Every structure is written in structure tokens, then in C-alpha cells.
Structure 1
Amino acid sequence: MSFDSTPGNPFALGADELARLEAIREGMLDPSPRRIGRLDQWGLADTYETYAETAQYAEVSLTMSDGTVLDAALSVPRNLAPGQTCPAVVLPAPLINIGHRAYLGMFPRWALGGYVVLAYSQRGLADSTGEIQVAGPQDVADATEVLDWLVAQDGVDPDRIGLFGSSYGAGTSLLAAANDQRIKAVAGTSAWGDLFASLYENGTRHLKAFEALVQLFGEDRCSQEFRDVIGKIRDNTIDDEVREFAHARSPRHCLNAYNDAGTPILLTTAWHETIFSVPAVIDFFSHLTGPKSLLVQVGDHGNGELSGLAGLLSKPTEMSYRWMDHHLGGSAGDGREPRFGIRSEYMHNLLSDLRHDDWESYALPRKRFHLADTTAGERDGQLTEGQPQPGWTRSVKVTGQGTEAVVAPKLIQTGLAERMGLPHVYKTAEIDRGLAAVWATAPISQAMRVQGDLEVRVTVKPQQANAMIVAYLMDCDPATGKAAIITHAPYTLTDQQAGQGTTVTFPLQPAHYVLARGHQLQLIIDTHDPFFVEENTTTPVLALELTSPQGAESYIDIPIDTLD
């Protein structure tokens, strides 16, 4: 059994976490006083002693029709009466080298709730054989064979089966449910809706996130199809093969199947998600017509459910227990009914908890702030309401290097700090205005909230082909010149647009943010971010012009209102 503790890996578990999981596994396989007693150092001995009295755990190998063997674990309630059946929950593994063992902390809750539990690692992951398919058609077919095996086991009610998965496991769960009508409910945490939108945003590669995922997969374990796609993404080649690869792996394209079956679907994501597209998850959620719930939390990919996977409390896992109980008839949750619609936290307050019926009622009406030129004695432009502001031009240098403004200094860890109330501090006063253009509102006279979808329009004239701009909306304290990021988005212009002015309109990531009185909204546009492109110190210094021509004036639309 191998663990991924590679230095610099944003998904790596610490040594104590790995030791705890291994001790849990050994205690579940052999619930002797000596094994269970080892768990006392983490305060878990009583939990797993109760689990051992409630259910029996075994590790099993599931052989697929093509000979691939999937590494799995089965938990069955003890002392079932003859003919008695239970609801079952299937847990496809997240993308981590310990595979399905990432869910060991959840087994006691599922077991005490009367569930049969089957967790497994998809082909190519952990100790499963075969090649990694990235939640492709073969993984979906495997899920059906896994269910075939499960329903043949004693105690399983074939009419009460649900799937829970985190991240990679969420994708597999959603896609499997579109293919197999035996799946009566799905809960997907840190889910994706459209894989292509996650790889390319406004024509721009999410390069840093992509490379981090490839590192986790391990290219030597990937299918040839996936290795071909890896090469094309690195070469920035967007062709039909890449699009079809992503299409087949996108729940967004299975809407008819979910809606025809009325499949109950719970989704969770994060405001500062750097792996999968948040707008695509919201779009997917909005087009579902069956029972549905969406949770959006403070932080980044996987942050919200992390403690829940370890057996502690988290909103995503607590909601998932209630979701399955409601639709399958178990009792793993706290007895409360699940919340339908949208539930959210605002940055950077994980204690906040708001609820709305749908995205339309959640998002505030947008106000238009026009990008205006600088005034005498000022170095930054203004964000102003009222009349459009045509006629100005701002020139920034394109050097292949970035500024203080970045999407996130570190994948995953930056968002985790946000959940602790410690957002990254941007010293925007120190940003080189030769490398970035900046606009700001006047200090606000009362606290405001940004809540919903944002959009930017600006006219861009680049000298080079495939020029990129990145827009960041910041919350700036003018007294200190320090800021926190609210949202962002990149935009890449095509080869055909080099040397000419092109008006581009593009969405920023949705946001939910509270601004303190006296702060400013600050829009920064620059030409480099290591999240999207590698630094290149040999790039010749070129210029890129941002303008606001008459009839196509530049603006940013922000869903904002006073704080209640």
C-alpha cells in the first residue's frame, strides 16, 4: 500500500494523518483490544470499538470483465436477520494514492446509520490494476460491474443504492448515475460540471492545476488516450480530440439522463476553487430539474470536506449523510431533513450560513462600474457609476513575468488558510503600474456585499499572438495599500486578434464577499499569472493596450448591495 507524500504536492497527507489512517485500517481488519487501543492516541478508540460491534469490515478485490482488478473495501452491518436488507452507499475514491482508504473515517457513521458500504479505487489508482481513464466510459462501465457485485451480496437492498464521492470520486459518481438507474441518489463534494471548462477558461489553460493533477495521476499509469490529451494540453492545442475527451467526462452533458430519472443530486464547491470550474458547477446545478442541493464554501478544492472525510464534522459530509438518509432510508445523519436549493458561506467567514431557493434568487442585481481614466495627481484609474467613460488608453508591458497579483500563491493551501480566516494579503500599492493597469472605487461609506456573477468588458490591442490578460477584483484597504482577492478570470486572444483592437466581454468567477466600510473595490488587469502560464524570462518586452472606445466603453458589472 503506497501513500503520496511528495514534497510540494498540494494534496499530500502529513505523516500523522497517514499513520492514523493505517492504524484505523488495521483496527478495522483486526478489531482486537491491542489494535483498537492504538487508536486511543488520536481519541478514536471508542469510535472504532463501536464500529466493530456494529459492522464487519473486509478488504476485497473486484475483478472486472476485462480482467482489471479493483481494490475495494466492504462494510456490512452485523446481526442482520435472515432476509433483512439495508441501504447501500458506494464510494469511488478521490484522486490520492491511498485510494478508497481516504474514506475510512466515514465508515463508522455510515455503519451506525445502517448502511452497507462499498468503497473502491478506480482502475489505475492505489492498488487497483489497469490504466487511469479519468472518469471515462470505462470507469462508468466499471461502476456498473461494481454495483452488479454489490447487489449480489447478502443484506443489500438493490432499490436503495447511493453514490458518494469527493473530487475524482464525485465525477465518477455523477457519471455513473447517468448510466445506471439503480443509483437512487448522488452526493458529490468538490465536484465538476464540465471538464473542458475546467481545463480552459475563456480560451486559457489552467496549467498549474492541470500539472498538479497529472502529478497525482502519474503519467506512467495513464491510458494512451489520456497521455495524448496531456501532450496536447501542454502544447496548448485545443482540438476535437481534447473536446471529445472532456465532453465524455462532463456531467453537464448528461442532463437528460438525470432529469428523466429525477436523480437527487447534492453538489459542493468553493468560491476560490482552483481545480474545477465553479461557473460550470453552478450552470449544471441550475439545469437539473430533480431534487438538488448546492453548497458553496470558503476556500479551495477539497478544503470543505477534509475534516468530514477524517470522521469529524464538516458541512459537505453532514449534508451528504442527511441526503442519503432522506432518499435511501438510512440514519447516518442527525435526523434533520436535507436542505434543497443553495447553501453558502461568504469569504472569509466559514461560520456564515445563507440559504436560497435557486441561483436566480441568490445572485444580487449587477451594478455597472465604468473604467475611467486617471485624474490629475493619481496613478490609477477610477471605477465609477453613471456615464460610460470613453477615450482613454492604458499601456502595459508584456514581459513573460507577473506581478503581485496572482490567482493563488499556492494551490489548495491558500484556500485552506482562507477557511481559517487568513486570506493571502496582496500589497497592491506596490504593484508595478508599468506591468498592470489598476482602477478603484472611492472608499465605500458603508459595508457592502458582492454576491453572484460578475462580468468585464474591455478593448485590448496586443502586439503578439495568443496574448493573455488576467482580471482580478480586489478588496483594498486604502489606508494600508493591502488587499484580499474577491474573484478573477483570464482571457486569451487568438492569433487573428494580434495587432488590432478587440473588445472582449468575459465572466469572472462568481463570488460572495463582504467589504468593510472605508475599503475600495480595485480592478487589476495584467498579462501574466503562473496559474495559467509558466514564467518566461526570455520573452521580448512588448506592449499591450487597454482602451475604452466610444460605443464599446469598458466596464465591470458587479452584483453588489449594502450589507443587511
Structure 2
Amino acid sequence: MSVDSTPGNPFTLNTDDLARLEAIREGLLDPSPRRIGRLDQWGLADTFETYTLTSTYAEVSITMADGTVLDAALSVPRDLAPGQTCPAVVLPAPLINIGHRAYLGMFPRWALGGYAVLAYSQRGLAASKGEIHVAGPQDVADASEIVNWLVGQDAVDPERIGFFGSSYGAGTSLLTAARDPRVKAVAGTSAWGDLFASLYENGTRHLKAFEALVELFDEERCSQEFREVIQKIRANTIDDQVREFAEARSPRNHLAAYNDNRTPILLTTAWHETIFSVPAVVDLFTRLTGPKSLLVQVGDHGNGELPGLAGLLSKPTEMAYRWMDHHLGGSAGDGREPRFGVRSEYMHNLLSDLRHPDWESYALPRQRFHLADAAAGERDGQLTPTGPRPGWSRSVKATGRSTEAVVAPKLIQTGLAERMGLPHVYRTAEIDRGLAAIWATAPLEQAMRVQGDLEVRVTVKPQEKNATIVAYLTDCDPATGKATIITHAPCTLTNEQPGQATTVAFPLQPAHYVLARGRRLQLIIDTHDPFFADANTAPSAIEITSPQGTESYIDIPLGTLD
């Protein structure tokens, strides 16, 4: 499924995607030659003809204990012998206005693999009734009731239940597995580990992504609790209610349940993820002690699994089929064993495929580059590995407007272009050095690889009591000054004394990036990015310094390209 390129919500499907899904649905409800034949324009007629001959499909309404009716679709294999049962997979819908229909393209693979399939829209989404609770306790309780209903079907083996979900559906799947031991395996694509870290990174609100999600939820359909949280996040009132709301919806807070049950968990995310915190997903993965797998791909939220949800090939969905086959005994995959440990692509090579047993062996040792003053005749500072460089300062103006450096010009769509080998080009030579401070390495003497976790430490002296800075690490061509982004992170200081120097160390998003010989690593620090909330008072100034004893640096997991 492609993302609509028109302005508006980045999660909206285009007209052809919607027409294809509606044609699939009509063909499943009425599997006549005429209806199924319509799918030939997308090359799907043979696939769905085979599916309808081997499995039943029905749209069902499932009533929760409080009377709320959820919209769902059930598929069951036709060729089961009397008394024979099959594994089942439950698919909570992603956050999209068509709800569970987003998974229709996957039904043939699951069904032909011998699975019963139940896809449903969580309360408040699409045609389901009730209010939206954002994968809260009510949604988890609903998911358990869905399992109750499913295991009441004669064909379903209650000991072989798995959950697969994308994005919002991934969160619901993970949280349900923590509460319901009947869930024997989980695959969550574009998953989140910590909802608070996703909303509020290094003290900075992710407002652009948050507002895009709220628009898609539709505030009128949200619970009173969620509406209150929405207003508090907009007003920057990050109190106990907001924290408790996020903590209840964070899989990372349920590690004891996952590890006690040894729940097999597959997680996928993306290097340029702009919706959920990648460090939190990595942290969840590293702290799991049961069977686990982590896939990190080129691109942004939801990019990697889009073809797979449409019934085509994608790494996330192929891994999910193998995952469920291995743990539940179906045959939807290609027969290969699932990959445990870390599987990754590097930016911007969609065809790259690396494998490591765990994050510790995956991440390269970090090399420290010290921030130094500019060399004689140069306007930008230096990133040097030769020792701390105290005693310099750089002043940047906070004006409320951004520079050429931004996290992503467009949510989702910028990452989608990266997957096609078309990363956004930043004209860093044109950045106003009054609005941003820049440091760069010498040209690399050989091709190098950035692979793992990064951290920046700087001392910040704002004129006002609150300050936001945003750091970007880029791959820069010294001949043209043009660059592509490797990673980024914001950091906000609050309730500081005006003019008081404060040293802050904060993580950047982990990265996997290959740099060609002759390129420069370039660190850019400015004061505004439209992606984040801005705590600066404009106009004002922020001084970035490197005092003796707390010298500024960036730690980069850097190694030669094998």
C-alpha cells in the first residue's frame, strides 16, 4: 500500500489502494467469477480464487461484555477433518480509517498456511463502536474477549493462538500478550516499546507526529481520558496523568510477564522512524529473555511492511509468517527457520541484509569525536578524535524558524523515498551559521560504517530559562556541501537560570549507515525543527561551549566497511 502524496495526513491510502481493498472485500463476500475476475487488474484473481476454494470468509460482529460491538472478519480453512483443529492468528487493526480491512491482502497466505484468521478493528476505529482508548487496559480486555470468542470456534486450537499487528495493532498485540498467557507468539511491525519516550524525547514533545496521529484517531471518537491527555500534551502539561496514561500503554513496562512466560516476540522498526522511539524498541528487545527477533529497516514508520500487508513480499511479513509457523505449527511461510537476534538493512540500501545474534554484537564500539573550534580560515568547527578541546564557544540564535536541517521534510513520505534510494538532500553549505553551529570531521580516508548507538554531550548556556536544541548527524560531501541525514535527536532544558551553563548528554537515534571514502561526518546543532515543540523564547540566543572538565563530544559507533 502506498501513501498518498497529496497534502494532509501521511497515513491516508491512495485511491487505487482503497479500490483494490474494496474489490478484494467484495470478492470474498461474493466469490463469483465476476467478482473475483475484477481482481485480475491487480494480478490477484488467481490468488483469491484459490483462497476462496480452500477457506471460508465472513464479516462478523463481536459484542464485548459492556455491549460495545467490534467489527471483525473471520477466515477458517475448509479442509479440516471432523475434530481437527488449526492454529489461529489474531490481527488487531493498524491506525487507519479502514480498520481491519488493511490486512485483507494477507488473508490468503495465512489461510493457505492452515491458519484460522480473525482481523478486527479496536473500539472506536472504522466500523467498530465505542471510544478510542489507544491500546489501553480496555483495549487489552477487548482483545482477551476476542480470544474467548475465537477459541469458541470448533476449528481453533486454543493452545496455538498468535497475534500479528502493524503500528497501533502491534501495540495492542504486545500489550495483550503481557496480560493473556493464551497468546503463544507475537509479531509486531512498526512497534513501540515506550509510549512516553515516543511522545516526549529528551524532554521534547514530538508534536508533528502527535498531531498527525490525533487527526487520524478523530478526537470526537476518543475517550474522555485520551481527550484530556491530548490537551495536556498540547499545553506542555506533562503531569502524572500523562505519564500514567503512557506507562499503561508501554510494552517495556511488562517485561516480567514476557520473560516469565518466555513469549516469543518479533519486533520491527526503521532507522528514520518519526512516530515511535527506536531506542525504546531496542531497549525492549535487549531486555527480553525469551525467543526474540528484531528487524530494523531503511525508511520510516510503516514503510517496510506496506507491500506485505497488500499481499506482496516484504521482510517484516515474511518474518512474521515464519515466526508463527515456528511457534504455532502452521505453514504460511517459505519453510525456512525464523531469524532470531538482530536483522538489519543499512541506509540507503534496501537490498542489504545483515544478521547478528544480539544487539551487543551488532553495535560497533563507539569512537569519541571531540567538538573543537574552527581551524584557521574555516567557518565550521572540527570533529576530532585527538583529545578534548575546551575553551571555545559558539552562539546560535533562536528565532522560531528552522534551518535547512530538519528531521524529515514529510512524515512517512521522506522515509518512503529513502527506501527507494532517494534520500532527502540537505544543502548544508547554505545553512545560516547564525542559526546553527556545525562541526565536521576531516574527509574519511576509507569507507566507514556507522552502526549502533550514539550520544552527544554539550554545554548549553541559554539567555532564557528554557531552551531546545536539535542535533543532526549527516553524511556530507565536502565538494558540494550537500548532505543526507544519518540520525538526530532533540534535547530541551527547562527551569534553568537564564545565562546558566548546563552540560547535557543525550542519545541520538541509533543508526546503520555506510559512508563512502572522502565524505565527512557533520554535526549540526540548531534551535528549531518543525517536527518538535520549541521551548525557546524568540528572539534569544543560546551559547554552546566546551568547559574544561566537561568538554563537548559526540560518540559514534564507527568502523571500517568490511
The TM-score bracket by the shorter chain reads: over 0.9
How far 1:465 moved relative to its partner? 2.8
Structure 1-normalised TM-score?
0.98
1:524 aligns with 2:524: yes
SS of equivalent residue, structure 2 residue 50: helix
SS of equivalent residue, structure 1 residue 553: coil
Aligned length: 560
SS of equivalent residue, structure 2 residue 512: strand
The corresponding residue for 1:553 is 551
The corresponding residue for 1:59 is 59
Amino acid at match of 2:556: I
2:492 and 2:535 in contact (8 A); partners too: no
Mapped partners of 1:242, 1:203: distance in 2: 14
1:495 aligns with 2:495: yes
| Matched ranges for 1:285-364 at <5 A | 285-364=285-364
| Matched ranges for 1:63-74 at <5 A | 63-74=63-74
Distance change in 2, residues 1:6/1:523 (3 Å): closer
1:290-312 CA distance string (max 9 Å, x none) = 00000000000000000000000
Mapped partners of 1:208, 1:467: distance in 2: 19
The corresponding residue for 1:387 is 387
The corresponding residue for 2:216 is 216
The corresponding residue for 2:100 is 100
2:467 and 2:535 in contact (8 A); partners too: no
The corresponding residue for 1:246 is 246
1:277-329 CA distance string (max 9 Å, x none) = 00000000000000000000000000000000000000000000000000000
Mapped partners of 1:404, 1:54: distance in 2: 55
SS of equivalent residue, structure 2 residue 434: coil
What's the Cα RMSD here?
1.3
2:4 and 2:14 in contact (8 A); partners too: no
SS of equivalent residue, structure 2 residue 17: helix
How far 1:535 moved relative to its partner? 11
Mapped partners of 1:160, 1:44: distance in 2: 29
The corresponding residue for 1:113 is 113
2:477 and 2:483 in contact (8 A); partners too: yes
The corresponding residue for 1:482 is 482
The corresponding residue for 2:438 is 438
1:138 aligns with 2:132: no
Distance change in 2, residues 1:534/1:38 (3 Å): farther
1:124-157 CA distance string (max 9 Å, x none) = 0000000000000000000010000000012000
SS of equivalent residue, structure 2 residue 375: coil
Mapped partners of 1:396, 1:144: distance in 2: 53
Amino acid at match of 1:421: G
Distance change in 2, residues 1:540/1:182 (3 Å): closer
How far 1:499 moved relative to its partner? 2.1
Mapped partners of 2:557, 2:148: distance in 1: 48
1:347-380 CA distance string (max 9 Å, x none) = 0001000000111000000010000001221100
1:416 aligns with 2:433: no
The corresponding residue for 1:563 is 561
Residue identity (%): 84
The corresponding residue for 2:451 is 451
1:496-528 CA distance string (max 9 Å, x none) = 243200000000000000000110000000000
The corresponding residue for 2:22 is 22
Mapped partners of 1:452, 1:249: distance in 2: 27
Mapped partners of 2:208, 2:516: distance in 1: 32
Mapped partners of 1:385, 1:299: distance in 2: 30
1:405 aligns with 2:385: no
Mapped partners of 1:498, 1:235: distance in 2: 22
1:470 and 1:525 in contact (8 A); partners too: yes
1:5 and 1:13 in contact (8 A); partners too: no
1:4 and 1:97 in contact (8 A); partners too: no
542, 545, 555: which one pairs with 1:544? Answer: 542
1:114 and 1:331 in contact (8 A); partners too: yes
How far 1:6 moved relative to its partner? 8.4
SS of equivalent residue, structure 1 residue 376: coil
| Matched ranges for 1:468-479 at <5 A | 468-479=468-479
Amino acid at match of 1:456: V
How far 1:205 moved relative to its partner? 0.3
SS of equivalent residue, structure 1 residue 496: coil
SS of equivalent residue, structure 1 residue 495: coil
Structure 2-normalised TM-score?
0.98
Amino acid at match of 1:152: G
